[in-house]
Amino acid sequence: MDFGSSASANMIVTNTPAADLALTNLAYCSHADLHGFAVPGTELYLASVADSFVLSPSLRYTGHESIRNGHIALNGIQRRYARVSAGDTISVSRFIPPDNFDLAMLTLELEFVKKGTKNEQVDAVLLANQLRKRFINQVMTTGQRVSFEHHGNNYIFTVNQAAVGGQQNSNSPQRGMISSDTYIVFEAPYASGIKIVNQREAASSNIFKQKEFNLESLGIGGLSAEFADIFRRAFASRVFPAHVISKLGIKRVKGMLLYGPPGTGKTLMARQIGKMLNGREPKIVNGPEVLSKYVGETEKNVRDLFADAENDQKTRGDESDLHVIIFDEIDAICKSRGSTRDGTGVHDSIVNQLLTKIDGVESLNNVLLIGMTNRKDLLDEALLRPGRLEVQVEISLPDENGRLQILQIHTNKMKENSFLAPDVNLQELAARTKNFSGAELEGVVKSAVSFALNRQLSLDDLTKPVDEESIKVSMDDFLHALHEIIPAFGASTDDLERCRLNGFVECGDQNKENFQKAMLLVEQVKVSKGSPPFTCLLEGPSGSGKSALAATVGIDSDFPYVKIVSAEAMIGLHESTKCAQIVKVFEDAYKSPLSIIILDEIERLLEYVPIGPRFSHIISQTLLVLLKRLPPKGKNLLVIGTTSEVGFLYSVGFCYAFSVAYHVPTLKTDDAKKVLQQLNVFADEDMDAAAEALNDVPIKKLYMLIEMAAKGKSGGASEAIYSGKEKIRMSHFYDCLKDAVRY
């Protein structure tokens, strides 16, 4: 049977003549048919079977068991893959391999032929050598299954990945030919009973000092996902031999950027990565240290950092060690070109010099540059493109599980030495430390230890011996520490409480309904799958309780980030500075999964003056943009605004930036009576008269009048009033009310 370059013929499927031949992955045919599969110019025979996979045909010389013309013998696994049975007809054609068809890497998933076989340990180095020798010049296709024998056990491998050096048509099956240089990666499901050892030793390039990474032992907590991302993108390609990467046609990663809020572990991560690598000791450079007052000296300092790597690559080539350069605070020297106007152009020259060394005409392939910053926005954009600092990993605030890992790391030694009290619940502490960074959690542990140590000291006699066995760090110590260590990105609880000094009391159906609607918005934010920020405007007369309502929503929401933006904190600042502070609040909110921002007294933020009217257009535009800006993926935000000048906001179109608006009214007689009953400062017979006098009064003024009346004319009766021993005299109350109305 003769096959043309593209012609195919139908052949009859038959069983493999002998059981041992089923483990060869060969197809068997007659001598006459074999020549039809010859690859011109080679000694290879290749057959494309049913357009599914490519097999290497062979002969069978055993007399009566020889294969007849027009027949092809396939083993059970091959027939199952081609979906045929013995006696069926199948399409077979000669396969001409394209150029650069050798496999650079082959990923195989192992399993036993017979399910339930006892557990076996497989040496990846030995098995890879055996498979390369046994299946040399055979073509492997993604999804193909092959049976083989190894150390007395019958296995099946499934081809999960077949990567070749040449380009393949994306529409064609991913396949290639096994060569002596093919690097084989083995995988085995946990339930298979197969344990693969020495997988890393199978690579000719081993850049790591240890086989496995225990991040907790390295002092890294809550960053397992980030570390996995770094390993995949920056180090996975360096585990494989240089010739494998060359055949894949890619270049190894030369730089990565770790960015995120201060204290989240960027420097720790970079330092530990340097320790884990074999080869040269990492060079750690603090950004400002590179700068010099002498002309050209700064650029020379940058060149000197790469000198060792250049010499190593010139002398050893691909065998060169990996040179790691760690830049802390890289934003100090790699600012966007043209952004600084110092007249020297030094910062621009540093960026140019660094870009040339990393990815210039004579770029280095044995360098890994690790930069760290909490101001990614300041970096020159050319530094962040692929080929330079292309791996950009955000080291963000840890989640609850990450916080638990960090607390375990920092309390591990005191637990081993029996200094940690049994009542300490790290899981509860992790739940209560929302938006704490790794550094802040370490500060909590230090603070708790200081409370525990302080109990053992006496200020009267500091020389008194200390009983080490009595030192115990208790749960109370940690709770006290939580009041002492305030997270930079946490909820501003003190500011929230200042907005409701008298608490949040029941004062009418309208206010109750407003609170319920606002809390419903909170629930919607929690379940949102990504949308523009939820916005709510609380409007009403001055002193009607808008700020107290917003603060109560923030406290009851239990969101990790709640921040109040008020004009009080911006007194004396220029417009541009105010805008920068407001933008920073929103940027900080985007670092937390759930956030609430309270824009208190928007008219004061806008510097509104009724004469004119006049207001700040710059601040107005900044707020309008931020209110409509879509938060990052996975970050949900609720913005609550309060105003006493809703007419002005409507006139300038500001109200339309809010999704909903709730009116917070003054107190009616019945509402005022409810508040007075809760305060219990009037006699029962005076309650109705006092409530009637307080009709249409804002709740903030009500508290002020009650406080003035409670002090009396002498100014010292308030303690007896609030303790319940005395009641407010109506004459004093009416005097205060008269003065309040007058002014």
Q: For residues 90 and 116, state if they share a domain.
A: no
Give pLDDT, residue 98.
Answer: 87
Q: For residues 604 and 725, state if they share a domain.
A: no
The CATH number of whichever domain residue 437 belongs to comes to: 1.10.8.60
Q: For residues 389 and 420, state if they share a domain.
A: no
R_g of the chain computed on alpha carbons: 37
| For residues 111-119, average pLDDT | 77
- The more confidently predicted of residues 211 and 382 is 382
Give me the phi and psi of 637, to 5 degrees please.
-135, 140
Residue that finishes a domain, picked among 47, 65, 94: 94
Alpha-carbon distance values, 19 to 22, 23, 84, 158, 522 (Å): 6, 8, 19, 20, 69
- 210 domain residue, yes or no: no
- 515 domain residue, yes or no: yes
- 720 domain residue, yes or no: yes
Which is it for strands 71-74 and 561-565: parallel, antiparallel or unpaired? unpaired
pTM of the predicted structure, to 2 decimals: 0.60
Cα separation, 200 vs 218, whole angstroms: 20
Q: Is the pLDDT of residue 211 over 60?
A: no
Q: What is the pLDDT of residues 459-477, one digit of tens each?
A: 666 666 667 777 888 899 9
Q: What is the pLDDT of residues 630-673, one digit of tens each?
A: 888 888 899 999 999 888 888 888 888 898 999 999 888 888 88
Q: For residues 41 and 107, state if they share a domain.
A: no
Question: Do 181 and 197 touch, CB atoms closer than 8 A?
Answer: no
Q: Can you give 645-667 as a three-state secondary structure string? A: CHHHHHHCCCHHHCCEEEECCCE
Q: What is the pLDDT of residues 422-440, one digit of tens each?
A: 888 999 998 888 878 888 8
Quote the tokens at residue 638.
Answer: 């609720």
Q: Give the least confident one: 347-356, 542-551, 570-579, 591-600.
A: 347-356
- Give the largest CA-CA distance in the chain: 127
Concatenated DSSP letters for 598-652?
A: EE-SHHHHTT-BTTTTB--HHHHHHHHHHHHSPPPTT-EEEEEEEES-HHHHHHT
What residues contact residue 681 under an 8 Å CB cut-off, 6+ apart?
706, 710, 721, 722, 727, 728
Q: Give the least confident one: 198-212, 505-519, 546-560.
A: 198-212
Question: Do 219 and 272 touch, CB atoms closer than 8 A?
Answer: yes
Q: Is the pLDDT of residue 191 over 80?
A: no
Residue that finishes a domain, picked among 94, 121, 145: 94
Q: Is the pLDDT of residue 259 over 70?
A: yes
Q: Which of 145-149, 166-170, 344-348, 730-734 has the highest mean pLDDT?
A: 145-149
Q: What is the pLDDT of residues 147-184, one digit of tens each?
A: 998 888 889 999 988 887 544 555 567 889 998 878 88
Give pLDDT, residue 158.
Answer: 92
Q: For residues 366 and 231, state if they share a domain.
A: yes
- 3 domain residue, yes or no: no
Distance of CA 644 to the CA centre of its chain: 40
- 384 domain residue, yes or no: yes
Q: For residues 480 and 510, state if they share a domain.
A: no
DSSP code for 683: -
Per-residue exposure over 97-110, b if at least 16 CB sit within 10 Å of its own CB, e if not: beeebbbbbbbbbb
Cα separation, 338 vs 336, whole angstroms: 6
| For residues 723-738, average pLDDT | 75
Give pLDDT, residue 169.
Answer: 52
Q: What is the pLDDT of residues 554-572, one digit of tens each?
A: 888 888 888 899 888 888 8
The CATH number of whichever domain residue 68 belongs to comes to: 2.40.40.20
Concatenated DSSP letters for 243-311?
A: HHHHHHT-----EEEEE-STTSSHHHHHHHHHHHB-SSPPEEEEGGGG--SSTTHHHHHHHHHHHHHHH
- 57 domain residue, yes or no: yes
Q: Is the pLDDT of residue 363 over 80?
A: no
What residues contact residue 420 under an 8 Å CB cut-off, 6+ apart?
411, 414, 472, 473
**Averaged pLDDT of the chain:** 81
Sheet with strand 594-599: strands edge to edge = 561-565, 594-599, 636-643, 534-539, 660-663
Q: For residues 386 and 250, state if they share a domain.
A: yes
Give pLDDT, residue 36.
Answer: 87
Residue among 379, 170, 395 nearest 272 (CA): 395
Quote the tokens at residue 735.
Answer: 């005097």
- The more confidently predicted of residues 687 and 286 is 687
Q: For residues 246 and 376, state if they share a domain.
A: yes
Q: For residues 632 and 520, state if they share a domain.
A: yes
Please report which confidence band the pLDDT of residue 205 belongs to, taking 50, 70 and 90 as the band edges: very low
Residue among 68, 62, 75 nearest 25 (CA): 75
- 540 domain residue, yes or no: yes
Give pLDDT, residue 248.
Answer: 75
Q: Is the peptide bond before 613 cis (omega within 30 degrees of 0)?
A: yes
Q: Is the pLDDT of residue 627 over 80?
A: yes
Burial class (CB in 10 A: 0-12, 13-18, 19+), 200: middle
Domain hosting residue 309, numbered range: 215-394
Give pLDDT, residue 167.
Answer: 46
The amino acid that residue 501 corresponds to is L
Residue among 284, 279, 289, 331 nearest 309 (CA): 279
The CATH number of whichever domain residue 621 belongs to comes to: 3.40.50.300
Cα separation, 103 vs 661, whole angstroms: 65
Q: What is the pLDDT of residues 447-459, one digit of tens each?
A: 999 988 888 776 6
Query: Total domain count for the chain?
Result: 6
Q: Is the pLDDT of residue 726 over 80?
A: no
Q: For residues 322 and 223, state if they share a domain.
A: yes
Q: For residues 625 and 518, state if they share a domain.
A: yes
Residue that finishes a domain, picked among 156, 178, 205: 205
Q: For residues 412 and 315, state if they share a domain.
A: no
The CATH number of whichever domain residue 174 belongs to comes to: 3.10.330.10
Give pLDDT, residue 677.
Answer: 83
What residues contact residue 686 under an 8 Å CB cut-off, 6+ apart?
727, 728, 730
* Residues 180, 184, 185: CA angle, nearest 5 degrees: 170
- 2 domain residue, yes or no: no
